[in-house]
Structure 1
Amino acid sequence: MTTVAGKPALGSIAARLERLPHSRWHIKVRFLIGAVTFFEAFDQLLAASALPVLMKEWNLSTGQATFAVTSASIGMLLGALAAGWLGDRIGRVRTVALGVAITGLSSLAVALSGGIEMFSLFRFVQGLGIGGVVPVAATYINEIARSDKRGRFVLLYEMIFPAGLAAATLLAVWVIPAFGWRAMFLIGALPVLIAAMLPRHVEESPRWLLSRGRTAEAEAAIARIEAEVARATSEELPAPAPSANPVDEPKGTLMDLFRGRYLRRTSVLAGLWFAAYYVNHGISTWLPSLYTKEFGLDLTTALVFTLLSNVTGLLGTFVMAMLIDRTGRRPALVGAFVGTTLSLGVLALAGATSGGQVALFASCTTFFLYAINAGLYLYSPELYPTFNRAKGAAFGGLWNRCGVILGPVAVGAIIGAGGGLALVFAQLAVMGAVGAVIAWFAVETKGRTLEELNT
């Protein structure tokens, strides 16, 4: 029996996590995992920031430019699949550390590439790391959060992701004109320094350890966490609530994601991820190039307009964090998809006639889109039992990568065929409306423990 401050620490692992007050331990873990997520987001957007310069330097066609920005997305798709399996097999923390190392080393290789072929190859490898880290990191944060405040806890962590996107664009405004695009990818190699720190400073998820039958390790991990929280709060921890001791979660296989009640959850989740990221990357990948090519803006102005969109996205994530535990997951997602559709619809009807107009309505769109994306990183792990949680979240990540790939391809095809910007934004608005309809069928998870949702 483990003890905290000389008293027995009774109850299940879930109950003991549920009774922990917010403390410096939570802040430390959220900071370390958040630093990983920050750089993953930073590295994800580097190609879009560098694309206007690359198109001139290497004289790229629209097709080559599309391939350059989607190569990482293909890697993210495969990385999400592999990481989902690894996260449930070798642990959340070790999987995240491995993905971070791959991301950082690949960024260094991209910086040294001499042509579009090597650039795209190493961006593909970098995508393997990015695609694997983000869903597994979100799964870990979900597993250490209390059910009554899980939405806010997870989404305040998720704000790190749009902050990383904004930082990539902000640095690009200064770094690329002054030092060239390669310097951005050198900065993107910094996560290598974080990879070695995680296993030594972040406890493995006790929920995952227990699901793997590693009961002694789970007990030891939760005891260390309890001791650190007790030291941080200088108070004796409350007893675990009896109502927080659920029946043990069932074990299962990958195919359980597509059977029984999980079939609906998986289908809805796949549709939500696809719609959200189809729209998100259909816009974000091409915005800097649209500003320079379609409206003749200089690179600095184009990057500042793009930065504005990332800042409003950060604000949208914060608003979602403050509201989602009150409104519930389904109303929040439906409302954000409707907001996305209206913003894009207005832009399509207005005809996208100036760079300033596009910047204004694109920024309104990203306010809602980033809120959706953060909400889905909260929602996805909630839907599955611990044994399959990383795989379930990663399967959603697979569909978001399909959207990441097809959104920019569709936009590039419309632009290449001379379809006009109004058509670009109209088809993105339609996809936003599809997402709103799918969100209506989402299962509500507000206020319930992960075990209650899956037993």
Structure 2
Amino acid sequence: MTTLAGKQGLGSIAARLERLPQSRWHVKVRCLIGAVTFFEAFDQLLSASALPVLIRDWHLSTGQATFAVTSASIGMLLGALVAGWLGDRIGRVRTVALGVIVTGAASLAVAFAPGIELFSLFRFVQGLGIGGVVPVAATYINEIARCDKRGRFVLLYEMVFPAGLAAASLVAVWVVPNLGWRAMFVLGALPVIIGALLPRKVAESPRWLLSQGRTDEAERVIARIEAEVERSVGAPLPEPGADPGAETPRGRLRDLFTGRYLRRTVVLSGLWFVAYYVNHGVSAWLPSLYTKEFGLDLTTALQYTLLSNITGLVGTFAVAMVIDRIGRRPALVAALSGTALALGVLALTGATSGLKVALFASFTTLFVYAVNAGLYLYSPELYPTANRARGAAFGGVWNRLGVILGPVTVGAILGAGGGLGLVFAQLACVAVAGAVIALFAVETKGRTLEELNA
């Protein structure tokens, strides 16, 4: 039965993946890929944790501090572009492994940087790895998930990203005051070990193998997965369901901007930009705002930052529980509207204390992290297998533009004496624009990847 099904082409591979029950194999893969994503998130937030100390010890101007924060983001933008191409060319797993090794090695180099110039250069290189890993890893997780539970499956995996951000803040509360900021970047080098092991522990996506014409290899991989799942559940696997159909055989970057994919790419790009503009416009400056604007000590500033990351984790879990029921579009509209409301109320009532900012920033991350996680689910759903990593990574380019411009704009407003009210008001306006864009999103709930791209 299994061998016959394996000879029927792309739809049959998809049908065989769709019929797999949840098992230890799914848990193993999500844990291994999740460990990678956890450390990528951990590494992404290291500059924000170190920035208050760097400003003091290296006497940084606002411009230098902004450059230190955004240098990794510029690397992430370029890394997303390259990784999208690599992910569709050499495979999901190998691309993720390569990005993790680059991230970890660069983190170790940052730890020994003698000044802001080399610090920013090595953070740029580290950003190349981070920007490449996250969208391609999300693509892989999407390709092994069943359509009826794909939202929850992917978003529970995506919880490791805000968990990594929270861990970076939690570890920084003790490490930075006691061991110094360099120790944080030494910890950030640990995922090199995972990157080296990943290709031997995680099978390549059968959907991707088949899209490359590697039919025999795809058959061997899906057969091994089926055997492992069958041993795990202790019962025969159900018969494959109806063939979900073959995808449009596309695999060129320009295909993202033609036909029905043009609308998908435009909407997705806008959502990515808005979500990360707001997210990093807030998070990149929070520790420094607490210390510089409100005179809080470093430990308190890092504890307040940790609170925001914990509420972000709660928001990601909440959206994971409902997104398969209510759909992607309603979830995105609601979360972006909540983001705008939290920031708008803070702007109107005034950022009068560090505690008040911390509370409203935490409400903001509750919603905006839900948007971010939802987009890592939504992006790969919109494109065919041969172009899926490119499509997801192109969205990542726009999120990196948001990551760059959000903190730069906030830094410019603060540098010009615009005040925190203006900072939060403009972030609220951007979130409103995102909610409007989300109204035009294509709904993907409950449909296979092949059905969405046939």
- TM tier, shorter chain? over 0.9
Q: Return the alpha-carbon distance in structure 2 between the equivalents of residues 201 and 223 of structure 1.
A: 16
Q: Return the alpha-carbon distance in structure 2 between the equivalents of residues 252 and 354 of structure 1.
A: 52
* 2:187 equivalent in structure 1: 187
Q: Return the alpha-carbon distance in structure 2 between the equivalents of residues 286 and 391 of structure 1.
A: 31
Is the CA contact 1:10–1:16 (under 8 Å) kept in the aligned structure 2? Answer: no
Is the CA contact 2:6–2:13 (under 8 Å) kept in the aligned structure 1? Answer: no
* 1:262 equivalent in structure 2: 261
Percent sequence identity over matched residues?
78
Deviations 1:289-330 (A, max 9, x none): 000000000000000000000000000000000000000000
Q: Return the alpha-carbon distance in structure 2 between the equivalents of residues 9 and 377 of structure 1.
A: 29
Q: Return the alpha-carbon distance in structure 2 between the equivalents of residues 363 and 248 of structure 1.
A: 41
Aligned length: 451
Deviations 1:6-37 (A, max 9, x none): x9767610000000000000000000000000
Q: Return the alpha-carbon distance in structure 2 between the equivalents of residues 150 and 252 of structure 1.
A: 23
1:107 aligns with 2:113: no
Q: Return the alpha-carbon distance in structure 2 between the equivalents of residues 315 and 202 of structure 1.
A: 28
* 2:319 equivalent in structure 1: 320
Is the CA contact 2:169–2:305 (under 8 Å) kept in the aligned structure 1? Answer: yes
Is the CA contact 2:6–2:219 (under 8 Å) kept in the aligned structure 1? Answer: no
Structure 1 segment 10-409 matched on structure 2, within 5 A: 12-242=12-242, 244-409=243-408
| Amino acid in the other structure paired with 1:359 | A
Q: Return the alpha-carbon distance in structure 2 between the equivalents of residues 247 and 83 of structure 1.
A: 25
Q: Return the alpha-carbon distance in structure 1 between the equivalents of residues 272 and 407 of structure 2.
A: 15
Q: Return the alpha-carbon distance in structure 2 between the equivalents of residues 247 and 417 of structure 1.
A: 55
Kindly state the Cα deviation for residue 247 of structure 1 after the two structures are TM-superposed.
Answer: 2.9
Q: Return the alpha-carbon distance in structure 2 between the equivalents of residues 198 and 128 of structure 1.
A: 19
11-20 vs 149-158, greater mean Cα deviation:
11-20
Kindly state the Cα deviation for residue 251 of structure 1 after the two structures are TM-superposed.
Answer: 2.9
| Amino acid in the other structure paired with 2:338 | G
Deviations 1:332-377 (A, max 9, x none): 0000000000000000001100001000100000000000000000
| Amino acid in the other structure paired with 2:252 | T
Q: Return the alpha-carbon distance in structure 2 between the equivalents of residues 273 and 337 of structure 1.
A: 11
Deviations 1:107-148 (A, max 9, x none): 000001000000000000000000000000000000000000
Is the CA contact 2:14–2:244 (under 8 Å) kept in the aligned structure 1? Answer: yes
* 1:431 equivalent in structure 2: 430
Q: Secondary structure at the match of 1:451?
A: helix
Is the CA contact 2:247–2:384 (under 8 Å) kept in the aligned structure 1? Answer: no
| Amino acid in the other structure paired with 1:269 | L
Q: Which runs of 5+ in 1 are unaligned?
A: none
Is the CA contact 1:206–1:219 (under 8 Å) kept in the aligned structure 2? Answer: yes
Structure 1 residues 111 and 240: CA distance shift in structure 2, 3 A: same
Is the CA contact 1:2–1:219 (under 8 Å) kept in the aligned structure 2? Answer: no
Q: Return the alpha-carbon distance in structure 2 between the equivalents of residues 66 and 50 of structure 1.
A: 13
Is the CA contact 2:15–2:241 (under 8 Å) kept in the aligned structure 1? Answer: yes
Is the CA contact 2:106–2:123 (under 8 Å) kept in the aligned structure 1? Answer: yes
- Taking structure 1 as the reference length, the TM-score comes to 0.98
Q: Return the alpha-carbon distance in structure 2 between the equivalents of residues 324 and 224 of structure 1.
A: 31
Q: Return the alpha-carbon distance in structure 1 between the equivalents of residues 311 and 332 of structure 2.
A: 17
Kindly state the Cα deviation for residue 413 of structure 1 after the two structures are TM-superposed.
Answer: 0.3
Q: Return the alpha-carbon distance in structure 2 between the equivalents of residues 27 and 397 of structure 1.
A: 26
Kindly state the Cα deviation for residue 254 of structure 1 after the two structures are TM-superposed.
Answer: 1.3
| Amino acid in the other structure paired with 2:108 | L
Kindly state the Cα deviation for residue 252 of structure 1 after the two structures are TM-superposed.
Answer: 3.9
Q: Secondary structure at the match of 2:114?
A: coil
Q: Secondary structure at the match of 1:140?
A: helix
Q: Which runs of 5+ in 2 are unaligned?
A: none
Is the CA contact 1:10–1:239 (under 8 Å) kept in the aligned structure 2? Answer: no
Kindly state the Cα deviation for residue 196 of structure 1 after the two structures are TM-superposed.
Answer: 1.2
Is the CA contact 1:74–1:405 (under 8 Å) kept in the aligned structure 2? Answer: yes
Q: Secondary structure at the match of 2:176?
A: helix
Kindly state the Cα deviation for residue 246 of structure 1 after the two structures are TM-superposed.
Answer: 1.1
Kindly state the Cα deviation for residue 416 of structure 1 after the two structures are TM-superposed.
Answer: 0.4
Q: Return the alpha-carbon distance in structure 1 between the equivalents of residues 188 and 6 of structure 2.
A: 43
* 2:446 equivalent in structure 1: 447
Q: Return the alpha-carbon distance in structure 1 between the equivalents of residues 435 and 343 of structure 2.
A: 14
Q: Return the alpha-carbon distance in structure 1 between the equivalents of residues 34 and 56 of structure 2.
A: 35
Structure 1 residues 272 and 212: CA distance shift in structure 2, 3 A: same
| Amino acid in the other structure paired with 1:423 | L
- Taking structure 2 as the reference length, the TM-score comes to 0.98
Q: Return the alpha-carbon distance in structure 2 between the equivalents of residues 247 and 398 of structure 1.
A: 28
| Amino acid in the other structure paired with 1:337 | L
